[in-house]
Amino acid sequence: MHATVNRIQPVNFLAGEEARRYLDTLTKPAGSLGALEALAIQLSAMTGELRPNVAAPAVIVFAADHGVAAEGVSAFSQAVTAQMVANFVHGGAAINVFARQIGARVEIVDVGVASHLTEPSVVNAKVRHGTGNMLVEDAMQAYEALAAIDAGIAAVERAQNAGTHCLIVGEMGIANTTASSAMLAALTGESVADLVGAGTGINSVQQAHKITVIERAIAARRADPKAPFDVLAKLGGLEIAAMTGAYLAAAAQRLPAIVDGFIATVAALTACRLCPAVRGYLIFGHRSQEPGHDIALAALAAKPLLDMNMRLGEGSGAALAYPLLQAATAMMREMATFDAAGVSDKAKP
Ligand SMILES: O=C(O)c1ccc[n+]([C@@H]2O[C@H](COP(=O)([O-])O)[C@@H](O)[C@H]2O)c1
Ligand SMILES: Cc1cc2nc[nH]c2cc1C
């Protein structure tokens, strides 16, 4: 992890400014393509190129289990994590459908699924069989959190070596909204009740129980809120650690990364707390229905591209946002300038 963090450079603001000036020469009233123009400027600043290329997106889904699932905090049982991994392998999950739509390769990485997986196409980077139950013990030891971060970094390096120019990171892990909520409350000091949501679909009574479990776990684990790695190890998850590593690696490689929903954004916040320059390499794909997502987005001063009332995970919301990045780069590449098209760029007095 440390070698990766040391390689991270701030985005290239001069390249962003050059993109801003070029946008005003294109045949449209200045600023009229709104957020698409901001996206183009951001992509230029990330890549250092006036006409960046985001073709060949890659989806990486990190899967892991959570000891805290034993406390009845999810609407689904822990076995569903492994069952969904099998579904990813067979191409039947939502992320498979959306990845096919945008021409993305999909890699599934097991960083900590509780059961033994036999699917040969799943990358085996298992650190342990699920985290410890944060109510009774630290979720991970420091060396385990570090190993999971490194698994995330390695996955991004594989994707880049395969020719990827845009990263979509997703996750699958029953009970991971509990881990993410605990981390977010610890990192921001916001009240647990304000950020906990239904996750996969628990009712209000179960949500009250989930809040109590998280409050007790935070009190028992005593993670240092100023030490994001400590918060991640004690309250987090193996897939959340891997996603944190993936965002660090994306920034180190100047690779635009589209952040997905609530769990992904908590991992992104962790990466930014570890190294603030990561923030410039992140694009936020959608706004999840999980109430904590707004708190995590606010902590990152982030405005997501889409608001589709989704709360699935897997990278699904990020994959849906990818065509907007394609549009931003196509605009820079293909639109005519006022000069070239013979259109007067003067507004009437
Ligand atoms: O991405 C989101 O915003 C999101 C919001 C709610 C649930 N999820 C997904 O649902 C699972 C976690 O929900 P839960 O209730 O088991 O904590 C996990 O596999 C996530 O991918 C994802
Ligand atoms: C079916 C199902 C699919 C998922 N995808 C991501 N999290 C999930 C949780 C469940 C329960």
Residue pLDDT, tens place only, 120-154:
999 999 999 999 999 999 999 999 999 999 999 99
Q: Token pair of 120, please?
A: 């040969």
Instruction: Considering every ligand atom shown, identify the ligand nearest to the alpha carbon of residue 267 and give its number.
Output: 1
Q: Which residue owns the Cα nearest ligand 2 atom 4?
A: 312
Give yes or no for residue 3 having a pLDDT over 90: yes
The answer to whether the CB of 230 is under 6 A from ligand 2 is no
Instruction: Considering every ligand atom shown, identify the ligand nearest to the alpha carbon of residue 260 and give its number.
Output: 1
Ligand 1 centroid distance, CA of 73 (Å): 11
Q: Answer whether 9's CB lies under 8 Å from 280's CB.
A: no
Q: Answer whether 257's CB lies under 8 Å from 250's CB.
A: yes
For residues 97-105, give the mean pLDDT.
98
What confidence tens digit (pLDDT) does each residue in 20-48 have? 999 999 999 999 999 999 999 999 999 99
Residue 61 three-state SS: strand
The answer to whether the CB of 239 is under 6 A from ligand 1 is no
Under the banding of pLDDT at 50, 70 and 90, the label for residue 346 is confident
pTM above 0.80, yes or no: yes
Residue 79 three-state SS: helix
Q: Answer whether 79's CB lies under 8 Å from 68's CB.
A: no
The answer to whether the CB of 288 is under 6 A from ligand 1 is yes
Q: Which sequence positions are flagged as catalytic?
A: 314
Beta strands in the chain (DSSP E): 57-64, 105-112, 123-124, 166-172, 257-259, 282-284, 286-288, 306-310
Ligand 1 centroid distance, CA of 339 (Å): 50
User: How many angstroms separate the Cα of 114 from the Cα of each of 38, 77, 174, 234?
Assistant: 42, 12, 11, 18
**What's the pLDDT at 117?**
97
Beta strands in 79-161 (DSSP E): 105-112, 123-124
Looking at the DSSP bridge assignments, the partners of residue 26 are: 337
Domains for the chain: give ranges and CATH numbers.
2-52+332-341 (1.10.1610.10), 57-326 (3.40.50.10210)
- The complex's ipTM works out to 0.99
Query: Which residue blocks in the chain are alpha helix, DSSP H?
Result: 2-7, 13-23, 34-47, 79-89, 94-102, 142-161, 176-188, 192-195, 204-221, 228-235, 238-252, 262-274, 292-299, 316-334, 338-341
For residues 232-257, give the mean pLDDT.
99
The answer to whether the CB of 172 is under 6 A from ligand 2 is yes
Give yes or no for residue 277 having a pLDDT over 90: yes
Ligand 1 centroid distance, CA of 118 (Å): 24
